[in-house]
A and B are shown apart, each in its own frame.
Chain A
Amino acid sequence: GAGVSQSPRYKVAKRGQDVALRCDPISGHVSLFWYQQALGQGPEFLTYFQNEAQLDKSGLPSDRFFAERPEGSVSTLKIQRTQQEDSAVYLCASSRQGSLPGNEKLFFGSGTQLSVL
């Protein structure tokens, strides 16, 4: 596609439910990033993939959060046993190069807004 696509656009989950958020990066982009944006805050780094390899997951807030990119294209962010504090917009971004961000431009999706009741 022309841009980074994320689905679903909105997700409402009951506390304790598992959710899966999908990201389709721009075709051919090597790097993929997940960010969490709480209301009124800037995006905060969660994890980074270079192709299928997860090179940095230092931002994942707990072991309930898991991300994968098995074939080096589409990525899924899974949150198990959701809690109210998980409510946020989850942003996915991709970039063409395989190196760490540096001066590389990131292309962002519109995000998935997760609300945990």
Chain B
Amino acid sequence: AQSVTQLGSHVSVSEGALVLLRCNYSSSVPPYLFWYVQYPNQGLQLLLKYTTGATLVKGINGFEAEFKKSETSFHLTKPSAHMSDAAEYFCALNTDKLIFGTGTRLQVFP
């Protein structure tokens, strides 16, 4: 069965600090992996995606994620948090339908 696990429902960082949001997946076939962001009262927006090829994927707003098959992970990082990064982040796995993790709420403190 395909599944996505996001470790930590809430993450708090100071402005300028490293952001690390964890995602592990389970899939019996090579996965397509995504990170989506959801700002309050807005729809989900695609941050980045991994399909094939380069395992380090760069997305919008300075975010990037690295696909590690040996660890079945696809963690999201950003070197320096900004106040505007505060949102809910969802990792997702795609085989025949998009399966989401439960989300991680990122808080950024000044």
Closest to A113 in B: B41
Closest to B92 in A: A42
* Interface size range on B against A: 20 to 34
Q: How far is the CB of B77 from chain A (nearest CB, A)?
A: 20
Closest to B99 in A: A45
- A residues near B41, Cβ cutoff 8 Å: 110
Q: Can you offer 23 A-B residue contacts whose CB atoms are under 8 A? A: A4-B43, A33-B98, A40-B9, A40-B102, A40-B103, A41-B102, A42-B4, A42-B6, A42-B90, A42-B100, A42-B102, A42-B103, A45-B98, A56-B96, A91-B44, A100-B97, A101-B94, A101-B97, A103-B32, A105-B46, A109-B43, A110-B43, A111-B43
**B interface list, Cβ under 8 A from A:** 4, 6, 9, 32, 36, 41-46, 49, 51, 90, 92, 94, 96-103
